[in-house]
Structure 1
Amino acid sequence: MRVDAFLGGRLRIAQPATGYRAGIDAVLLAAAVPAGAGERVLELGCGAGVASLCLGARVPGLVQTGVELQEGYAALARRNAAANGIALEVVTADLCALPDGLRSRAFDHVLANPPYFQRARGSAAADPGREVALGEATPLSLWIEIAARRLLPGGRLTMIQRAERLPDMLAALGHRLGSAEVLPLAPRAGRMAKLVLLRARKGGRAPFRLHAPLVLHDGDRHEVDGDDYTPALTAVLREGRAISWPT
């Protein structure tokens, strides 16, 4: 086990020394959720709790629930929530077979960082925990369908995913989720985005919006030791700021 610092040391989160460990993707996901105090938030596949705890650190007063398939990671999420003084209910369950108590509840926000890799196109990871986190067993379309079911009318879904999966995500929104907007995440200016953030609203009818990319790193290449994040990304990753979506 190891303890990683997030948000400039504001959060200290235990994660496995080997296997899957959350990184900046989880922080970016949390920073993209437009939640307000008192709202109810559900994270599907919360792992050790990094995204939910980053969100809870930025927005006090949320009512947060996480669903995690692997009991070891669910236990870590509970431990991390307690250690950081952030309320987070963690339910150990398959998102395709949620317990009755959770299926009877609705949320203002659902966030998710689904596995990135389709196993028909790559090899499985040797570590079982890492494979569950990274290898798609439940189809991406089902993640989105389950999220839509758990949202209140007008509630928002926020997801992070590889850019190549964007067509799959948009197709899966169907008639339940609209007002979709996408923020590409480009590693450097002029480079293709490798990741995208997607937001959509249950019952939304606004036109689709594709925003200009959010650039993660300064300069054309990595030339110095340490971080070279842009000032906007530094504010998100070190200070816990929200991502500012274009209006």
Structure 2
Amino acid sequence: MPPALPSPAAPSAPPTTQGFLLRGRVSYTQFAQGYRTGLEPVLMAAAVNARAGQNVLEIGCGAGAGLLCLMHRVPGLAATGMEKDPQTAELARQNLQANSYPHATILTGSFPEDWHREEGVEAPRFDHCMANPPWHADNGAPSPEPRRDLARRLGQHTLRRWIEGCATVLRHKGSITLALPTSLADQALVALSASGFGGSTLYPFWPKSGREARIMLVQARLGVKSPARLLPGLVLHEADGAFTTAARTILEDAAPLGIG
């Protein structure tokens, strides 16, 4: 009998770096190469008007930065994240455990395609959904780092599918919060309206006073008929590049953004 072939080795975990969010209030580990967390998930989490005891879902949660910031600001949340990349999803679980959130759930899969794969399991009704979708067009040059490419490349219908999926898991008048480049605002508003969301609120972030906004938050509620609003937004940096006082209260002190 020929000798048994050895089982293929499991892929080794990529190297990580240890850091912090919210000026040391949250421990955060991320991969050393590939996609690196920016300001967007922290700003997004600050805008979600959640209360203790409510259910929150983050789609494309990455290593968990948005969930971690929101759960730090609002203790007692029931939080779920969904992430397509298995190694990133596992890192998010480790980050939640390291910050003493063992009861938060991270699911591995694509949203909404994999959401209902457990037959007979009724999907929960969430009070809030949030997402920081990929920002770059699907037809752009691919990144040589697969994980970075997955996090950055927006599929042709990804934004619309995520919004449609949120409409199926949110309770009536539940909120959706999206961190987007301003170039996707029009697509988001069309998809939100088509999926039954209303009361859309646009909140731009100005890199410096007098500069064009490049990122913004779009927030809406399912089943409401209120008209859209454009708020004054927030200036992120002083002329010398330092964060403004208002930005520091959000990014460092975990203050709520107060969009709602």
Same fold (TM over 0.5): yes
| Mapped pair 1:12 → 2:27 | yes
Equivalent residue number for residue 58 of structure 1:
73
Which of 83, 95, 106 is the matching residue for 1:90?
Answer: 106
The correspondence of residues 116-131 of structure 1 with structure 2, limited to 5 A, is 116-120=135-139, 122-131=140-149
TM-score with structure 2 length normalisation?
A: 0.88
| Mapped pair 1:188 → 2:208 | yes
Structure 1 ranges of 4+ moved more than 2 A:
99-103
Amino acid at match of 2:159: L
Return the structure number with greater helix share: 1
> Which sections of structure 1, spanning at least 5 residues, go unmatched?
223-227
The correspondence of residues 93-112 of structure 1 with structure 2, limited to 5 A, is 93-95=109-111, 96-101=113-118, 104-112=123-131
How far 1:175 moved relative to its partner? 4.8
Amino acid at match of 1:204: V
Amino acid at match of 1:231: T
Equivalent residue number for residue 154 of structure 2:
136
Q: Could you tell me whether the CA contact under 8 Å between 2:167 and 2:195 is conserved in 1?
A: no
How far 1:100 moved relative to its partner? 4.1
Equivalent residue number for residue 74 of structure 1:
89
| Mapped pair 1:243 → 2:257 | yes
Cα separation, 2, equivalents of 1:118 and 1:231? 34
Name the CA shift for 1:103/1:139 in 2 (closer, same or farther; >3 Å).
farther
How far 1:105 moved relative to its partner? 1.5
How far 1:85 moved relative to its partner? 0.8
Deviations 1:56-87 (A, max 9, x none): 00000000000010110110010000001124
Cα separation, 1, equivalents of 2:219 and 2:213? 17
Cα separation, 1, equivalents of 2:178 and 2:224? 16
Amino acid at match of 2:224: G
How far 1:103 moved relative to its partner? 6.1
Q: Could you tell me whether the CA contact under 8 Å between 1:183 and 1:210 is conserved in 2?
A: yes
Cα separation, 1, equivalents of 2:122 and 2:228? 29
TM-score with structure 1 length normalisation?
A: 0.93
Q: Tell me the SS of whatever aligns to 2:218.
A: strand
Q: Tell me the SS of whatever aligns to 1:115.
A: coil
Q: Could you tell me whether the CA contact under 8 Å between 1:193 and 1:213 is conserved in 2?
A: no
How far 1:104 moved relative to its partner? 1.7
| Mapped pair 1:2 → 2:17 | yes
Larger Rg: 2
Deviations 1:83-102 (A, max 9, x none): 01124200111112213457
| Mapped pair 1:234 → 2:248 | yes
The correspondence of residues 149-188 of structure 1 with structure 2, limited to 5 A, is 149-173=168-192, 174-188=194-208
Q: Tell me the SS of whatever aligns to 2:162.
A: helix
Cα separation, 2, equivalents of 1:103 and 1:123? 40
Q: Could you tell me whether the CA contact under 8 Å between 1:45 and 1:67 is conserved in 2?
A: yes
Q: Tell me the SS of whatever aligns to 1:200.
A: strand
Q: Could you tell me whether the CA contact under 8 Å between 2:198 and 2:225 is conserved in 1?
A: yes
Amino acid at match of 1:89: T
| Mapped pair 1:199 → 2:219 | yes
Q: Could you tell me whether the CA contact under 8 Å between 2:163 and 2:195 is conserved in 1?
A: no
Q: Tell me the SS of whatever aligns to 2:252.
A: helix
Q: Could you tell me whether the CA contact under 8 Å between 2:182 and 2:213 is conserved in 1?
A: yes
